[in-house]
Amino acid sequence: MCLALPARVVELLPASEGTIDLGGVRKRISLELVTDVQPGDYVIVHVGYALQKLDPAEAERTLALFAESGLTDGTA
Amino acid sequence: MKYIEEFRDGDLARRIATRIRAEARPERSYNLMEFCGGHTHAISRYGIKDLLPGNVNMIHGPGCPVCVLPIGRIDNAIELATKHSAIVCTYADTMRVPASPAAGPPQGGQHPLGGCEPRASRGSGESLSLMKAKARGADIRMVYSAADALRIAQDNPARDVVFFAIGFETTTPPTAIIIRQAQALGLANFTVFCNHVLTPAAITHILESPEVRELGIVPLDGFIGPAHVSTVIGSQPYEYFAEEYQRPVVIAGFEPLDVMQAILMLVRQLNDGRAEVENEFTRAVTREGNEKAKSLVADVFELRRSFEWRGLGEVPYSALRIKESYAAFDAERRFGIAYRSVADNKACECGAILRGVKKPTDCKVFGTVCTPENPIGSCMVSSEGACAAHYTYGRFKDIEVRAA
Amino acid sequence: MTKVRSDYVRPVDFKHGRVDMTHGGGGRAMAQLIEELFARAFSNEWLAQGNDNALFTVPAGRMVMATDSHVVSPLEFPGGDIGCLAVHGTINDVAMAGARPLYLAAGFILEEGFPLATLKRIVESMAAASREAGVPVVTGDTKVVEQGKGDGLFITTTGIGVVPPGVEISGDRARAGDCILLSGTIGDHGVAIMSLRENLTFETTIRSDTAALHRLVATMVEAVPSIRCLRDPTRGGLGTTLNEFARQSGVGMLIHESKIPVRAEVNAACEFLGLDPLYVANEGKLIAICPPEDADRLLAAMRAHPLGAKAAIIGKVVADAHGFVQMETSFGGRRVVDWLTGEQLPRIC
């Protein structure tokens, strides 16, 4: 529901915190709710907490699905 | 911004729109409810309706936790600051929600900077909001994160600090975390005023409502499931609706392309006569969701038997309260909060709009008496309420239609 | 033993001192503060005279006057402070009439307890801005309020300028068919401020765009004397200013999201907070409306100036009795860009 954004983890910090980067803006957030996060991973951030890791393979698959949507038609 | 901009591509949008147009059968209508306020906002902001064929109708659902917060609960939050002198920490979204007329601190008619207190302009007095209460001296502080509220409590040991917790399942895990942290720290001055609500219960309520179930006034063919709530609860809880009510559900990501793809998937399901749960937001949603978050929430909260939702009335098993084991951090227990139900303005059609029975333009006071500047009801207060979204982004279309 | 000079006066302690009620009392302490700080920083013939007013001859022609009160918090931010903001803000308001700014007046309301070190920094920044712009602060006033009655420091500036003959610039002159131009990226100032607000801290290299625009305006007016409207989109942002023009002129507008320059970081910060860059404040940008046949020439003149390097034509004025400002989104749909409601607050939903 709520405003949540995919952001890249750039640094792990003590006490289950981390620094994320979104378009060049950095913020310190909590990684308490996610496990096994490494710098370079993308997470969905909501009110200062990472809620879930983003799966890059699935993201690519979804984008491909969008692109396909027009192609099967023949005429776009 | 990776994983955001690619999902807003205009060319791809037009392709998907062409597909939808090709596959939507002209002899029927497709009435789809997007439950989540964030989706309502996206649909308005990106003008998605412009790209859909006329027989695909989007109905705005009650998935805006600010919109469904009853007046009485806001009154309680204001009371915590005014009567109990607590520092009330809140997300910005709630600041402007209009509550009951002023029951604020008596100022003896004198304004702190000299001169008289302005007289109430209407009968029973100006309706208060957290913002207005703050202007009158209540210590109400806007926070971006639940963790900020905890920090404020640690920085102000001599004051009571209350966190006004709202939101659906997306926002609940952070509240659970700070309550556990407060317990670990042995904080004696920190409590949470819990108003967390549940998505599946709300969807059930809509599907059970007479207009939908028996009378068929609101044709509801399928749902776009919330994006971020689903990252937490997973896709599994929606299987019940698909099964029981024979309506397809497609969980969609937050970006406009996600929404359009989900609409296409729903159209396909309806054409095929299927009623399944499909997941468009596979990059962040799995069937089980976030187990760690779920177990933290289960540790701290339990179901309320019933909770009043603005516009929907009492909804059973739709909200959470803090468990006995964390009673020390429950503001309702500490301050003996008594909830008083307050009726909405008679002209307000928010209830009907939240259930999808009416549109913003069906409301007599929409855009005239009730505007984002002076909201009468909850649908106008939050920027993703159906009325606010329509007013801010779409109302110019109403005029074109009327002029035609 | 060193002898103390008979004319020794203990200087104001700018390192550790704080404002107190005597600094506004009209007596010796106030005179000393004015002399050692304000007059020294602003340093010009009018202040040197030490009167409560400034005397000058008025050039012939039409004059413009503008005033602003500055209450920004925090007082100092990446890219500027309340002092230079005040100077730029009023110079810009005067310039938006197409005028050449001449003089500024500045009033200061200081809160008891305000650190003199901070005051000195801000006043010197203000003086530097005034010097760089070539617009002196010729007269001023200082008052002190009790602790708790002020936000540290409030500044009010008033400016006057002279409008060249043949220039008619006003918000009610836009006509259907006119082009709308923007001088550069939007949202920088608002984001720079927000990045410091308590509980919203995020790290970014975005700096406020605060700048004096009068020289940019001068080159624009010279290239295209037929400019119809000029305004700097400060509080309320681009969206609000376009609505102001639309209402004043009784027209509508159609702008294109893809043409509006926004820095990637500003976009990202706005995403984080759920803000719309269209409504975020700017302090060094302007919107110009001109006849369509002059748009390309005006754009070239803007781009030739450092403060207009990223200028763009973002849309056009249309006939519309309802005065809607519409926007073609990058996505392909159309939406209304309405007046800003209240203050833009970050959201979680």
Within a domain: B40: no
When mean pLDDT is compared across B206-215, C135-144, C234-243, the lowest value belongs to B206-215
One digit per residue, the tens of pLDDT, for chain A of length 76 reads 467 899 999 999 999 999 999 988 899 999 999 999 999 999 999 989 999 999 999 999 998 988 886 554 444 3
**What confidence category does residue C98 fall into, taking pLDDT thresholds of 50, 70 and 90?**
very high
C349 → closest Cβ in B38, B48, B391: B38
Residue B147 lies in a domain: yes
Point out the least confidently predicted range of B12-16, B390-394, C162-166, C217-221.
B390-394
Range B195-203 average pLDDT: 91
Question: Tens of pLDDT along B66-122?
Answer: 888 888 999 999 999 999 999 999 998 888 888 888 654 334 444 444 444 454 333
Domain containing residue A51: CATH number: 2.30.30.140
Of B359, B367, B385, nearest to B59 by C-alpha is B359
How many separate domains does chain A show? Answer: 1
Q: What is the pLDDT of residue C199?
A: 63
Could you tell me if residue C14 is inside a domain? Answer: no
What is the mean predicted confidence (pLDDT) over B298-320? Answer: 92
pLDDT of residue B348: 86
Q: Retrieve residue C267's tokens.
A: 């976009």
C55/B contact by beta carbon, under 8 A: no
User: Is B7 part of any domain?
Assistant: no
Contacts of A19 by beta carbon, 8 Å cutoff, 6+ apart: A9, A10, A11, A13, A26, A27, A28, A29
pLDDT tens digits for C167-198? Answer: 999 999 999 999 999 999 999 999 998 888 76
pLDDT reading at B27 higher than 90: yes
Q: ω into residue C74 within 30 of 0, thus cis?
A: yes
Q: Say if residue C147 is in the same domain as residue C193.
A: no
Q: Select from A2, A27, A46 the Cβ nearest to the Cβ of C202.
A: A27
Are C109 and C200 contained in the same domain?
A: no
* C-alpha pair distances (Å), C236 with each of B45, B390, C189, C255: 18, 20, 12, 17
> What residue numbers bound the domain in which B379 lies?
350-394
Q: Facing residues of C326 across strands?
A: C254, C336
Of all residues in chain B, what percent carry a pLDDT higher than 90?
A: 54
Question: Partners of B319 in the beta sheet?
Answer: B197
Query: Distances from the Cα of B257 to the Cαs of B13, B263, B287, C160, in angstroms?
Result: 6, 10, 22, 52
Chain A partners within 8 Å of B231 (Cβ) = 4, 44, 51-52
Containing structural domain, residue C219: 179-336
3-state secondary structure B86-120: CEEEECHHHCCCCCCECCCCCCCCECCCCCECCCC
pLDDT of residue A9: 96
Answer with the one of C135, C163, C191 that is the final residue of a domain: C163
Pairing outcome for strands C100-111 and C137-145: parallel
Q: Verify that C195 and C307 share a domain, yes or no.
A: yes
Nearest-CA distance from B339 to chain C in Å?
25
pTM of the model: 0.85
Can you read off the two tokens belonging to residue B109? 């008619």
Instruction: Give the per-residue pLDDT at C132.
Output: 97
| Chain C 200-239, residues with CB within 8 Å of chain B CB atoms | 200
Output the six-digit token pair for C269. Answer: 């910060």
As a whole number of angstroms, the distance between CA C20 and CA C144 comes to: 7
CA C201 to each of CA A12, B394, C192: distance values in angstroms, whole numbers, following the listed order: 18, 33, 11
- The CATH number of whichever domain residue C151 belongs to comes to 3.30.1330.10
pLDDT at B125: 60
Cα–Cα distance measured from residue B240 to residue B246, given in angstroms and rounded to the nearest whole number:
9
Q: What is the predicted pLDDT for the residue at C202?
A: 77
Q: Is residue B281 part of a domain?
A: no
Q: Using the 8-state DSSP alphabet, how is residue C149 labeled?
A: S
Residue C341 lies in a domain: no
In chain C, the residue whose alpha carbon lies closest to the alpha carbon of B96 is C342
Specify if B35 maps to a domain: no
A50 within domain boundaries: yes
Let me know if residue B175 belongs to a domain: yes
Question: CA-CA distance, B101 to C230, in Å (whole number)?
Answer: 43
Q: Are residues C151 and C213 in the same domain?
A: no
Residues B390, B295, single domain; the answer is: no
What's the gap between Cα C316 and its chain centre? 25
Chain C interface, best mutation among B383, B387, B395, by max C CB count within 10 A: B383
Instruction: Supply the pLDDT for residue B248.
Output: 96
Task: Name the strand (E) or helix (H) holding C253.
Answer: strand C252-256
Q: Which chain A residues are Cβ-neighbours of C202 within 8 angstroms?
A: 25-27
* Residue partners of A41: CB distance under 8 A and separation at least 6: A8, A9, A53, A54
Q: Give me the sign of the Cα torsion angle C147, C149, C151, C155.
A: negative
Q: C146 and C26 in one domain? A: yes
B229, B199 Cβ separation under 8 angstroms = yes
Give the mean pLDDT of chain B: 87
Mean pLDDT, range B32-36, rounded to an integer? 90
Output the six-digit token pair for C188: 């920088």
Say what the alpha-carbon torsion angle C321, C327, C331, C333 is, to the nearest 10 degrees.
-10
Q: List the chains bordering chain C where 3 or more Cβ pairs fall under 8 Å.
A: A, B
Q: At what angle do helices B10-23 and A56-71 cross, to 10 degrees?
A: 60
Is C8 a residue whose pLDDT tops 90?
A: no
Domain presence at residue C270: yes
CA distance C256 to chain A (A): 22
The torsion of the CA quartet C298, C304, C308, C313, rounded to 10 degrees, works out to 40
- The verdict on B138 and B183 lying in the same domain is yes
* Chain B contact set for C330 (CB, 8 A): 8, 10
Asked if the structure places residue B108 within a domain, the reply is yes
The pLDDT value recorded for residue C31 is 87
Examine the domain organization and report whether B100 and B161 are in the same domain. Answer: yes
Say which amino acid occupies B186: G
C276 in a domain, yes or no? Answer: yes
C348: in domain: no
Looking at the fold, whether C231 and C329 belong to one and the same domain comes out as yes
Contact assignment for C335 to B45 by CB distance below 8 Å: yes
Same domain, B330 and B354: no
Contacts of B9 in chain A (CB under 8 A): 66
* CATH value at residue B77: 3.40.50.11740
Confidence of residue B263 (pLDDT cuts 50, 70, 90): very high
Q: How far apart are CA B145 and CA A27, in angstroms?
A: 12
Q: What is the pLDDT of residue C343?
A: 67
Per-residue pLDDT band for B124 (boundaries 50, 70, 90) equals very low
Q: Do B257 and A66 touch (CB under 8 A)?
A: yes
Q: What is the pairing mode between strands C179-182 and C287-290?
A: antiparallel
B162 membership: H or E segment, kind and range: strand B161-167
pLDDT, tens only, C239-282: 999 999 999 999 999 999 999 999 999 999 898 888 889 999 99
Instruction: Please report whether residue C254 resides in a domain.
Output: yes
> Which residue of chain A has the CA closest to C347?
A3
Is A2's Cβ below 8 Å from some Cβ in C? Answer: yes
* Residues C50 and C186 reside in one and the same domain: no
List of residues 6+ apart from B372 with CB closer than 8 A: B380, B381, B383, B388, B391, B392, C341, C342
Residue C171, domain member (yes or no): no
CA distances from B360 to B181, B398, B404, C186 (A): 43, 11, 20, 32
B218 assigned to some structural domain: no
Q: Give the domain extent around A43.
A: 4-71
Q: What is the number of structural domains in chain B?
A: 2
- Distance CA(C340)–CA(C236), nearest Å, equals 6
Q: How many domains does chain C have?
A: 2
Whether C124 and C65 map to the same domain: the answer is yes
Chain B neighbors of A63, CB-CB under 8 A: 6-7
- pLDDT of B113: 47
Both C197 and C154 in a single domain? no
Interface test with A, best of B228, B258, B294, B299 (most A CBs within 10 A): B228
Pick the residue with more confidence: B390 or B259? Answer: B259
Residue A76 domain flag: no
**SS3 letters for B285-327?**
CCCCCCHHHHHHHHHHEEECCEEEECCCEEEECCEEEECHHHH
CB spacing of C203 vs A26 below 8 angstroms:
yes
pLDDT-based confidence at residue B164 (cuts at 50, 70, 90): very high
Give the Cα separation of C328 and C318 in Å (integer): 14
Residue in C200, C268, C326 nearest the CB of B144? C200
